Structure formats: C-alpha cells, structure tokens
Amino acid sequence: MKSSIAENIHRIDAELTGTAARLVVVTKTHPVERLEEAYAAGARLFGENRPQEMAAKQPQLPADIEWHLIGQLQTNKVKLLAPFVHTVQSIDSLKLLKEIDKHAAAHQRVIQGLLQFHIAQEDTKSGLSLLEAEEILASEAFRELRHVRLTGVMGVATFTNDEAQLRREFQQLRGYFEHLKNVYFAAEAAFCEISMGMSGDYQLAVAEGSTLVRVGSAIFGSR
C-alpha cells in the first residue's frame, strides 16, 4: 500500500531528529491541494523550481510557509518572488545578487540566499567554482548590498548510486562552506546553511553535514 504524504513527511522528520538538517519539501509541479496535505503534516519549508509556479501558489497557501527557490533564477523573474520569497538557494552570479537586492529593497525586505556550487560530475548541473564565489565575495559591489543576505551554500550531487562518489561531492561542498565561513563570514552566525541531499541521497548528505535536504519524490511519489 502506498504511503501517504503525511506518513512520508513524518518518517523523514523522524530520520532528521537529532541532526542539524531540516526538510525542504520540493513541491514543484504538484497542485496546491497536495501542498496543503504537506502543510497539514507539519511541513513549513517548501521548495519550487520555477518562479512563475511559486508566485501562483504562494497566495493560495498559509502565510507562515518559508518559500525556497531551488531552481535557476533569471534576473527578469526576481520581481515575481521579491514580495515573499524567504531564500533563493541558487545564486550563481553577482548580477543576480544585485537584482535580488534591488527588488528586496523596493519591498523593504531582506531576502536570504545560498551560493550554488557545481559539485557534480555532470556538465548539465550548474553552479559556481570556489574561485568564482570568492571573486563575488571580495568585490566592492557585494559589500554594498543591504537587502540580500548570504546564509550558506547549495549543491546538487551527481545522479548516481555510487555512495563513495556522493560522499566526496558532499564533503567538497562542506569544505567550500567551511572555507567561506572562516574567510568571509566568521563573524556572521547567520551563515550556517549547507543545502545538499535530495530524495535518493539525503541520508548520506545528512551524515556529511547537510542542514537543508530538498525532498520531493520520496514524499509525493515519483511522477
């Protein structure tokens, strides 16, 4: 018998108890009714890939949901999310940071962001190199931003069953986090998030220090 959305959320929450990790329920392509089921089961962090889809769903759901944009964000779509998005997990350029800052300022908000790193052995996955991230953080333009706050890092691992490879990639991302924390954010307690791990590998990611796991199909079932 297929498990319900609530049963799956409760099972994953139980697995995360005692760890540093929180669950981001990946709700992309699912109708609002299924998101309401997840909310009723206690989920409060929802992750969407497409800005238009997130902007359409947000007004139909409770105001205490913490919305995370986990897909690539084009600068011309930032304005759709600026009134309400909590965290943009997929920041990959100074240009995007500046655009988020501009639109957040217009709404008198501070939007949180994670730097997305390329850690997978797949060219189709996007993200920064460590050098590119450091160029952003060392820039005068970054230091002038007031309405976007970087709170950590994000990465998407290779789609593989090779646990050793997955662990190496998760360890690489944690290493990037620790380096940036020490060099650029030592005085900022808010820089504390490592978003890694999805439905097929989140247990490994948690073991390697993930603080945010992005889980969709293990909750809603495969499409």
pLDDT of amino acid 2: 64
Given a cut of 90, is residue 121 above it in pLDDT?
Answer: no
Mean pLDDT of 132-151: 98
Q: Are strands 111-117 and 87-91 parallel, antiparallel or unpaired?
A: parallel
Which of 93, 101, 89, 173 is closest to 128 using CA atoms? 93
Mean pLDDT of 107-124: 93
Q: Exposure string (b/e) for 80-115, b if CB count within 10 Å is 16 or more?
A: bbbebbebbbbbbebebbbbbbbbbbeeeeebbbbb
In this prediction, residue 122 has a pLDDT band, given cuts at 50, 70 and 90, of confident
**69 in Cβ contact with 88 (< 8 Å):** yes
Share of the chain above pLDDT 90, in %: 95
From residue 27, alpha-carbon distances to 5, 69, 153, 193 in Å are 12, 11, 21, 20
Please name each of the domains of the chain with its CATH number. Answer: 5-220 (3.20.20.10)
pLDDT of amino acid 125: 75
Structure tokens at 215: 């889980």
Give CA torsion, residues 167, 170, 175, 181, to 10 deg: -150
**166 in Cβ contact with 132 (< 8 Å):** no
pTM of the model: 0.96
Mean pLDDT of 106-133: 93
What distance separates the 2 farthest-apart alpha carbons in the chain? 57
pLDDT of amino acid 223: 62
Mean pLDDT of 150-161: 96
In this prediction, residue 201 has a pLDDT band, given cuts at 50, 70 and 90, of very high
Distance between CA 155 and CA 115 in Å, rounded? 8
Q: 96-112 pLDDT, tens per residue?
A: 999 999 999 999 999 99
Average pLDDT, whole number, for the chain? Answer: 96
Given a cut of 90, is residue 123 above it in pLDDT?
Answer: no
pLDDT of amino acid 222: 80
